[in-house]
Amino acid sequence: MKKTALLLFVFSFCSQTIFSQKEATVLSIKNTPNAPTINKNIYGHFAEHLGRCIYGGFFVGDTSKIPNTSGVRNDIIDALKKLKIPNLRWPGGCFADTYHWKDGIGPKEERPTIVNQWWGGVTEDNSFGTHDFLNLCEILGAEPYLSGNVGSGTVQELSDWVQYANFGGKSPMSDLRKKNGRTEPWKVKIWGIGNEAWGCGGNMKPEYYAGEYRKYATFMSDWENTGGLMRIASGASDADYNWTETLMKNIPGSMLGGVAMHHYSVIEWKKKGDAVDFTEGQYFTTMKEALKMDELITKHGAIMDKYDPEKKIALVVDEWGGWYDVEKGTNPGFLYQQNTMRDAVLAGATLNIFNNHADRVRMANLAQCVNVLQAVILTDKAKMILTPTYHIMQMYNVHQNAQLIPLTLNTPLYTYNNETLPALSASASKDTKGFVHVSLVNVDAKKGNKIEINLKELGIKTISGTILTSAKLQDHNSFDNPIKIQPGVFKGFKIKNDILELTIPPFAVVMLEGK
């Protein structure tokens, strides 16, 4: 395949001087022939049986007055299609290691119940099961990512699930699937083997889990001997590098499609703070935690490089996002939180980090899709709102499957109480139609930052821009005011002698498009 010449943007900044709006971070360009493609799966989502994500969120049942398709809300389906959601992880999370998939198939009225022991202790009727989820993914045009039960399940159970979902020939599981109304297999490619095996998934030691993984993976096949499954190992929490090292050392590369990693941006687990009513200090800490993602990926990636220098195995960040105290008056086990401009900045900066590590990070899942943690959609009975995070995911979907344009960014600093963070975050890509997209985030809560981009070597003739910004960091969309925060046209730039000059307002996200 012909390699497209790629462009290297180098942001440079005179870090010795004190940055003011009169001085600009300068972007210059070089060719980079082997830059990777940004896998669209980096823009994946996560739907756990948790609080009102599935029941009362996605799934209202086909007798609901809320317009639905086989019980799933049409407004959610439409919103997720617009997002170009590439994959959806289900049924957990911690729930996955308690879930027995056979309880969620067949006539709904005959299904046994399950007590959701991790999340609020509520009793579920299993009315949303394998068919409901996989059919939903088909409607969305998203790849399903099924999380298998290792903690309380069996090898046979998971092997049967793969056969049920994927086998086209005659077998006990494919016959059962047909009896339940589905002739053609769904051909599910992405499978997680347990979740957080070091914690809610079984409190296992990494050596023990590596052994379990090998056993489970052995009996999971696509049933057509094409080797088409992407099997993902339950990965480390944050900086548990020993976990990644142990898995990479003890699991043959041929059995591993991906190794997971989870990182939430939490101020303090025992005092996470309000999702809306927060101080600049809390914002700063949230952003510090979010920006740690870069170091985590770099260090987990370096370990993976030792065992897999060709980067065949993906690092899958299948849970990420901001985690705050639940909204007052809601069930503490339901993890319902509002979503502000803080979350928009967090999402923009995190997605830039993923894009810039596209060689190793080939999948990620924001936690979670509807009504839980850093949700893109919130519902209240028949009402539905899109959060600032939704708008970022939509603005950034232009990077899906585009070729990365690597950046070197020497950014000005955002200072708060004698602590500093990089103020600017950026990533860039070129899509198959030749459009260049540059996503820029100003993390600084107080100060606008100026950037100059040299357009000459890009051959760009026209530029347009989109911005997500608001007056206050705490601003959010609500059921009373669902469109307070929406992307707008960005006109805050000028071009002089092939140099594009722009100023990004505080805590704002800008997407530039050039051709």
Would you count residue 151 as binding ligand AHR (CB under 6 A)?
Answer: no
Burial level of 471, CB count in 10 A (0-12/13-18/19+)?
Answer: exposed
9/145 with CB nearer ligand AHR: 145
Alpha-carbon gap, residue 314 to 338, rounded angstroms = 32
- Least Cα distance to 477 among 388, 390, 394, 344 occurs for 388
Nearer to ligand AHR, 346 or 502 (CB): 346
Residue whose Cβ sits closest to ligand AHR: 93
Length of the chain: 515
What minimum distance in Å lies between the beta carbon of 319 and ligand AHR? 5
What is the rounded CA–CA span in Å between residue 299 and residue 197?
A: 20
Residue 103, exposed/middle/buried by CB under 10 A (0-12, 13-18, 19+)?
middle
Query: By C-beta, is 258 or 505 nearer to ligand AHR?
Result: 258
- Least distance from C-beta 196 to ligand AHR, angstroms? 5
Which residue number, 93 or 465, has a Cβ lying nearer to ligand AHR? 93
Catalytic residue among 48, 196, 212, 289: 196
Which CB sits closer to ligand AHR, 206 or 487? 206
268 is catalytic: no
Should residue 132 be labelled a site residue for ligand AHR when binding is judged by CB under 6 A? no
Token couple for 297? 């990926």
The only residue of 124, 132, 160, 196 in contact with ligand AHR, by rule CB under 6 A? 196
**Cα(395)–Cα(392) distance, integer angstroms:** 5
Among 319, 444, 452, 475, binds ligand AHR (CB under 6 A): 319
Tell which residue, 126, 88, 96, has the closest CA to residue 109. 126
Quote the least distance from Cβ 139 to ligand AHR, whole Å: 24
C-alpha to C-alpha distance for 34 and 150, rounded to whole angstroms: 38
| DSSP strands (E only) in 356-400 | 361-366, 377-380, 383-386
Single out the segment in contact with ligand AHR by CB under 6 A; choices: 29-37, 90-98, 104-112, 478-486. 90-98
The Cα 432–Cα 398 span in angstroms is 11
By CB under 6 A, tell whether 93 contacts ligand AHR.
Answer: yes
Least distance CB 61 / ligand AHR (angstroms): 24
Nearer to ligand AHR, 196 or 359 (CB): 196
Evaluate whether 148 touches 193 at the Cβ level (below 8 Å).
yes
Asked if residue 92 binds ligand AHR (CB under 6 A), the reply is yes
Q: Does 124 bind ligand AHR (CB under 6 A)?
A: no
145, two tokens: 């990512």
**How far is the C-alpha of 283 from the C-alpha of 473, rounded, in Å?**
9
Min separation Cβ 92 and ligand AHR, Å = 5
The minimum distance between CB 88 and ligand AHR, in angstroms, equals 14
Binding-site string for ligand AHR from residue 260 to residue 299, where x marks contact by CB under 6 A and - marks none = ----------------------------------------
Q: How near is the Cβ of 262 to ligand AHR at its closest, in Å?
A: 6
Instruction: Identify whether 184 is a catalytic site residue.
Output: no
Q: Give yes or no for residue 185 binding ligand AHR (CB under 6 A).
A: no
Q: Which helix (H) or strand (E) holds 346?
A: helix 341-356
Place of tokens 């002739």: 183
Using CA atoms in the order 420, 391, 44, 399, what is the torsion angle rounded to 10 degrees?
A: -80
CA nearest to 235, candidates 347, 359, 361: 361
Residues 228-257 that bind ligand AHR (CB under 6 A): none
Q: Is 48 in the site for ligand AHR (CB under 6 A)?
A: yes
With CB under 6 A, what is the number of residues at the site for ligand AHR? 10
CA-based nearest residue to 89, from 200, 189, 197: 189
| 71 part of the interface to ligand AHR, by CB under 6 A | no
- Closest distance to ligand AHR from the beta carbon of 176 (Å): 28
Choice between 47 and 220, CB closer to ligand AHR: 47
Instruction: Note whether 192 binds ligand AHR by CB under 6 A.
Output: no
235 or 514: whose CB is closer to ligand AHR? 235
Task: Find the shortest distance in angstroms from Cβ 336 to ligand AHR.
Answer: 12
- One character per residue 341-380, x = contact with ligand AHR (rule: CB under 6 A): --------------------------xx----x-------
Report the distance separating Cα 157 and Cα 161, nearest Å: 6
Instruction: Find, among 213, 207, 322, 310, the residue nearest to 259 by Cα.
Output: 213
Catalytic residue, from 124, 289, 319, 452: name it.
Answer: 319
E strands of 114-229, at which residues?
A: 114-115, 123-124, 143-148, 190-193
Residues that bind ligand AHR (CB under 6 A): 48, 92-94, 195-196, 319, 367-368, 373
The residues carrying an active-site annotation are 196, 319
